[in-house]
Structure 1
Amino acid sequence: MSVTVKASCTVRPMEATWCGRIALSELDQTGTVGHQALVYFYSLPQNCLSQYNTIASTLKDSLSRALVPFYPIAGRLYWINNGRLELDCNATGVQFIEAESSSTVQHLSHFSSSSEYHYLVPTVDYYSLPIHELPLFAVQLTKFKCGGICVGITFSHAIMDGSSAFHFIRQWAKFARGGPLHTVPFLDRKILRAGEPPLVPLTKCHVLAKLNDPPLLLGRTDDREEKEKKTTITFLKISKTQIETLQKRANESSPKPINDGGYSRYESVTGHIWRCASKARKHKENQPTELTVTVDLRGRMKPPLPNGYFGNAIWDSVACCLAGDLVSEPLGYTASRIREAIERVSDEYVRSGIEFLKNQKNLRRFHQDLHEEGREKEPFPGNPNLSVVSWFRLPINGINFGWGKEVRMSPATHGFDGDFVLLPDPDENGSVLVYIRLQLLHIDAFKKHFYQDIQGYKSNL
């Protein structure tokens, strides 16, 4: 795909904002600390096709306005010591790029084009520039030959998780339509920082997600060979009826009594994907495998976090079992392991983990994607493991900047082998989209298991 950059500028807050350095929470500085990317495709109404310059101006002006209440986004990160980061709220601004492409919205908004999405978001160069010179938020407005546009977004995960990112994006769109500030961001990160003195005793619970080295394939002493294998991304769609089939199957085969009305679509679909991936990868029966689930903490803390908390309020919890059990036991067994991992994440569990992280001399080993000096790390270990993020409860769809809602939205460059995202399908009520990256040699078998196993068929793959 050909994309030509036509202009680039810096967008700063429209008004003076507070300036100064603030410490990040321990949760901001672990896991993914680099940039994450999204794309939104729009087919413009007929009366907007000749107003591209007005569209660009509207986006920049409303972005400048949004950076006033969300002023940390206009700042910069600094390494301070021992793998820790600090946020300098200095109103330096965010990047805004204007580009053109000979492609069409109809082609690129189709799921199969996801491999080309990285052309539609700004590049954040961790290799050439120090981290304090990199914008925390960047936008690329791409105009297509058909008259449609794409708004590509990349944001620093060190300062916001998905919930905070979509809070900002929706407010930016609301300002673009001339609306008011809806939910004031809560910017005090001390609420999730470690206490002085510690609020809870340190326990071993935190090691499950933060220190536990993922299992390797049997017979291997490292994961280098797996990291070097080519991966690809695929989108799969699962209908409401298919989801109900999986939920019924999970509930009827649960090894223990189920609370809260049975297993959720998240637990059932995720369990199904875990089983299918293990089959597609042809794991041996005694192969250990882990599934990392990302849990939103906002309603789990005591008291719950304030409405509009802006930062990272997520925790990774790990479900693990042998591949033989995963495949031979019914879906209810897998769903129960996932529920156990989620229920483990209590207020005390999280605060104990935060205290543990605070007492580490160096946080570098807890960065999933960046070295302290700024270089990107090798891909995270994949096979035999998986990692899931759910966007079911995030307001990802219906982002209207003034010319109607998007044709399609998607992650742009998300993931490593075994990484997948669950998205609600905006086109059909109750259906789900699965965005997953797997090794190329496993993808066809995974697709076959994914659909055949829902119907109860046995695959010979």
Structure 2
Amino acid sequence: MIAKGEFNVRVTKKEAVAAALPMQHHWLPQSNLDLLLPPLTFGVFFCYQKPTPKFTFFGSISGVLKAALAEALVSYYSLAGEVVQNAGGEPEVLCNNRGVEFAEAVADVELSELNLYNPDESVEGKLVPGKKHGGVLAVQVTELKCGGVVVGCSFDHRVADAYSANMFLVSWSEVAQAKPLSQLPCFRRSFLFPRRPAHYDLSVDAMYTLISSLPPPAAAAEPEALQTDEQSVISRIYYIESEEILRIQSLANSQKGSAKINHRITKLQAFSAFLWKTIAAGIMSRKDYSFKNFKLGVVVDGRTRLSDGDELLKGYFGNVLSIPFGDRKMEDLQEKPLNWVANAVREFLEEAVTREHFLGLIDWVEAHRPKPALAKIYGGGEGPAVVVSSGQQFPVRKIDFGWGKPAFGSYHFHWGGEAGYVMPMPNPKGNGDWIVYMHLQKWQVELIEAHASHVFKPVTSEYLGFI
């Protein structure tokens, strides 16, 4: 048997898949919220067990994917274009139907041998494709030794957020099964136009900053014990059993102690609080830390906040995100009960879950253009920082191209910021368990595994039920 992580992937064919219908070249401007994203690529992949006899040959699987992709690109035309700079130096999408790079590959590994707990070994550079300069989307379909299949995609985050990617993936699979699209994409940028006159709350200044104003990397200020191999950033995938999620939520909603909960804490808020507290407690236990504070951010989707009853915004394709964050003392995060930490999460989220916040953010970007800006927590700064992005709407069970639902699916996002990145997603089994993707510094991962191994359990083929 091949040792986990030690396998080869050979690309056998590459081609560009364009939209099935011709389209007139045009420019699609970035919205002010798109402009808050640096040039990042995020990946997503789906693992399928050996398809039914109908798909005996790998070529038939690839053929279905390509044909459906060409049809889906008629509606999702921006994905077949490329990102270029306009005269003002800002990115725009040139919708020229250059096509999506589509690769076919074979891997000398079985599905049960994939070390999904460590996607840096099993996924990065192997099952999720690289993306050509300027391209918006790249796809790779890989045949495994057991006959299983992995479909991997890479998206330009400046063009699509996770919600948009999810919408496309569902549409792609619906086309493959000759179903009507359950949601048509909308590219109407007028939804996110700035107001006249523009105005915004000063709280936006606390959440966002010009790139030119970012402080230098904080590595030099970190303790010597954390400046060696521990400083490296790694990815891991865990699962959390549904009972643990409910237990954490119950603790977060407890009225015991000094924290009074006025609003029910959601599962995501409770999870975020638990992660915040766990890492802080781990840092404090080392007794070699020099950090005073610890930041935690949570990604908020603004579609429902901005819709005001307009159903078209539900299908808006692009970025409609904000990343509010809290900054608390390390001692408080360790010593205070979980309900206090959860209340801190709820408090900083309250500033960003309103229509006015997103309208103000749009206006803030307009006031600073063309200077590039981004979320302040992405740039890190002094002390550790982690961002939690909810993947609870990840439609893993819907990505069926005709040969069955995925046995596993996850995002894979080496996002490059100073802050860590964590995304909890539903288990493909639909049993209430969560799959959690983490991209953190190695020392943070070690702290989590040392202090919360009863909650965060490594994803294994045994747990997933791979044959």
Give the TM-score band, short-chain normalised. 0.7 to 0.9
Query: C-alpha offsets along residues 257-282 of structure 1, whole Å, 9 cap, x if unaligned?
Result: 422xx211111111101111122233
Give me the TM-score of the superposition, normalised by structure 2: 0.85
Specify whether residues 174 and 302 from structure 1 end up closer, same or farther in structure 2 by C-alpha distance, changes over 3 A only.
Answer: closer
Quick one: distance in 2 between partners of 1:31 and 1:299?
20
- Residues 307 and 314 in structure 2, CA contact (< 8 A), matched pair in contact too: no
- Give the counterpart of 1:308 among 315, 340, 343: 315
Quick one: distance in 2 between partners of 1:7 and 1:383?
46
Corresponding position of 1:424: 426
Corresponding position of 1:340: 347
- Give the counterpart of 1:12 among 18, 22, 25: 18
Query: C-alpha offsets along residues 113-158 of structure 1, whole Å, 9 cap, x if unaligned?
Result: 5532021122125xxx4xxxx2211100111111111111001111
Query: C-alpha offsets along residues 10-45 of structure 1, whole Å, 9 cap, x if unaligned?
Result: 111111234311211011111344211011111123
- Higher mean Cα deviation, 63-72 or 416-425? 416-425
- 1:65 Cα deviation from its structure 2 partner: 0.3
SS of the residue corresponding to residue 247 of structure 1 reads helix
Residue 123 of structure 2 corresponds to residue 135 of structure 1: no
Within 5 Å, which residues of 2 pair with 1:140-155?
140-155=140-155
Aligned residues: 435
Quick one: distance in 1 between partners of 2:208 and 2:191?
21
Corresponding position of 1:457: none
- Give the counterpart of 1:256 among 256, 260, 280: 260
- Give the counterpart of 1:351 among 318, 336, 359: 359
Quick one: distance in 2 between partners of 1:453 and 1:175?
38
Quick one: distance in 2 between partners of 1:218 and 1:412?
25
Quick one: distance in 1 between partners of 2:290 and 2:248?
23
1:308 partner amino acid: G
Quick one: distance in 2 between partners of 1:343 and 1:275?
20
- Higher mean Cα deviation, 61-70 or 21-30? 21-30
Query: C-alpha offsets along residues 32-64 of structure 1, whole Å, 9 cap, x if unaligned?
Result: 442110111111234146321111111111100
Within 5 Å, which residues of 2 pair with 1:155-174?
155-174=155-174
1:431 partner amino acid: D
Unpaired runs of 5+ residues, structure 2, are: 1-6, 457-467
Residue 295 of structure 2 corresponds to residue 293 of structure 1: no
Specify whether residues 304 and 227 from structure 1 end up closer, same or farther in structure 2 by C-alpha distance, changes over 3 A only.
Answer: farther
Corresponding position of 1:203: 201
- Give the counterpart of 1:320 among 327, 333, 342: 327
Residue 71 of structure 2 corresponds to residue 65 of structure 1: yes
Corresponding position of 2:463: none
Aligned sequence identity (%): 25
1:166 partner amino acid: N
SS of the residue corresponding to residue 250 of structure 2 reads helix
Quick one: distance in 1 between partners of 2:232 and 2:121?
13
Corresponding position of 1:438: 440
Quick one: distance in 2 between partners of 1:337 and 1:74?
42
Corresponding position of 2:86: 80
SS of the residue corresponding to residue 87 of structure 1 reads strand
- 1:240 Cα deviation from its structure 2 partner: 1.7
Query: C-alpha offsets along residues 187-206 of structure 1, whole Å, 9 cap, x if unaligned?
Result: 102211213x23x5233121
Corresponding position of 1:34: 40
- 1:401 Cα deviation from its structure 2 partner: 0.4
Specify whether residues 337 and 190 from structure 1 end up closer, same or farther in structure 2 by C-alpha distance, changes over 3 A only.
Answer: same
- 1:452 Cα deviation from its structure 2 partner: 5.6
Corresponding position of 1:111: 117
Residue 9 of structure 2 corresponds to residue 3 of structure 1: yes
Quick one: distance in 1 between partners of 2:267 and 2:388?
14
- 1:72 Cα deviation from its structure 2 partner: 1.4
Specify whether residues 57 and 157 from structure 1 end up closer, same or farther in structure 2 by C-alpha distance, changes over 3 A only.
Answer: same
1:292 partner amino acid: G
Quick one: distance in 1 between partners of 2:445 and 2:252?
24
SS of the residue corresponding to residue 168 of structure 2 reads helix
Give me the TM-score of the superposition, normalised by structure 1: 0.86
1:348 partner amino acid: E
Residue 407 of structure 2 corresponds to residue 400 of structure 1: no
Query: C-alpha offsets along residues 344-373 of structure 1, whole Å, 9 cap, x if unaligned?
Result: 11211221121111121433343899xxxx
Specify whether residues 413 and 102 from structure 1 end up closer, same or farther in structure 2 by C-alpha distance, changes over 3 A only.
Answer: farther
- Give the counterpart of 1:229 among 224, 231, 234: 231
Corresponding position of 1:50: 56
Specify whether residues 452 and 120 from structure 1 end up closer, same or farther in structure 2 by C-alpha distance, changes over 3 A only.
Answer: closer
Quick one: distance in 2 between partners of 1:255 and 1:446?
25
Q: CA RMSD in A?
A: 3.1
Larger % of helix: which? Answer: 2
- 1:290 Cα deviation from its structure 2 partner: 0.8
Quick one: distance in 2 between partners of 1:228 and 1:206?
33
Query: C-alpha offsets along residues 394-432 of structure 1, whole Å, 9 cap, x if unaligned?
Result: 323331001001111112343456211111122352222
SS of the residue corresponding to residue 323 of structure 2 reads strand
Quick one: distance in 1 between partners of 2:8 and 2:363?
49
Quick one: distance in 2 between partners of 1:227 and 1:81?
43
Query: C-alpha offsets along residues 152-185 of structure 1, whole Å, 9 cap, x if unaligned?
Result: 1001111111111111111111111111222211
Quick one: distance in 2 between partners of 1:37 and 1:330?
36
Quick one: distance in 1 between partners of 2:101 and 2:220?
47
2:201 partner amino acid: T
